[in-house]
Amino acid sequence: MPLPALATVADLAALLGRTFTPEQELQAQALLDQASNVVRAYIRQDITRATTTDTFTMRRSDPVLHRCAGAVTLPQRPIVDIESVAMNGTETHDWWQDGNDLLLRSVTWNQPPVSNRPPQVTVTYTHGWDPVPADIQAIVLQAANRVIVNPAGIRTETVGGVSVTYLIPSTGEYLGVLLSRTEQRVLDRYRRTAGTVNLRSR
């Protein structure tokens, strides 16, 4: 199921101070969907509040240093609630949360039916923001607005000695619904950089 846009058509209309026709509403929604996908791809997060079931390959941990036998890192943030944890298909309550890490106290690594394989941990958890952070929403609206204000991507046009400059970055690069460097810097605080082995979602 597609994730919802991170801002609404009503938000965009309010930003522009105008009322959209039905055709313009469709265009605005498409642009907001594209901008939301670009933002999600950059920060590697779903952002909106949701409940997900994922299966991960457990990694070993130092039982003395970390007081656990294995761990997995949950990729979606922030974590609101962990509803259930199962190891190799069997539910377990022998775990605790440390930030985005799920730590399991007792782990059997080499026992059928997963001989010679690390344990597989299935986690159902709720994550994301509700509402969407204001700075993320603002960037999505800005990206959509760039296309509505200047769909041709023209920076300067001269007609009859009159020069008109459009809202394009000083580099002259047409961004469309892509992100500027300034917008990326704002989003960096939300960006996930650590790798996580995610086998499947359901």
Residue 154 pLDDT class (50, 70, 90 cuts) = low
| Least-confidence region, from 64-68, 154-158, 161-165, 198-202 | 198-202
Coil/strand/helix, residue 60? strand
At 48-71, the pLDDT tens digits run 999 999 999 999 876 655 678 889
Q: Supply the pLDDT for residue 199.
A: 38
In terms of C-beta density within 10 A (0-12 exposed, 13-18 middle, 19 or more buried), how is residue 103 classed? middle
Mean pLDDT of the chain: 84
Q: At what angle do helices 134-149 and 22-43 cross, to 10 degrees?
A: 130
Q: Percent of the chain scored above 70 by pLDDT?
A: 75
Half-sphere exposure of 190 (CA within 13 A, CB side): 26
Half-sphere exposure of 132 (CA within 13 A, CB side): 22
Radius of gyration of the chain (CA): 23
Please give the Cα distance from 29 to 113 (Å, whole number). Answer: 48
Q: How far is CA 138 from CA 8, 12, 42, 44, in A?
A: 11, 10, 15, 18
Whether the predicted pLDDT of 42 surpasses 90: yes
Domain ranges of the chain: 9-46+131-190, 50-128
Residue 156 pLDDT class (50, 70, 90 cuts) = low
* Higher pLDDT, residue 139 or 154: 139
* Higher pLDDT, residue 144 or 63: 144
Pairing of strands 59-60, 162-165: unpaired
Please give the Cα distance from 24 to 152 (Å, whole number). Answer: 16
8 A C-beta contact, residue 157 and residue 34: no
Q: Supply the pLDDT for residue 155.
A: 56
Q: Supply the pLDDT for residue 202.
A: 43
Coil/strand/helix, residue 16? helix
Q: Supply the pLDDT for residue 178.
A: 86
* Higher pLDDT, residue 93 or 199: 93
Q: Which of 45, 43, 42 is nearest to 3 (CA)?
A: 45
Residue 143 pLDDT class (50, 70, 90 cuts) = very high
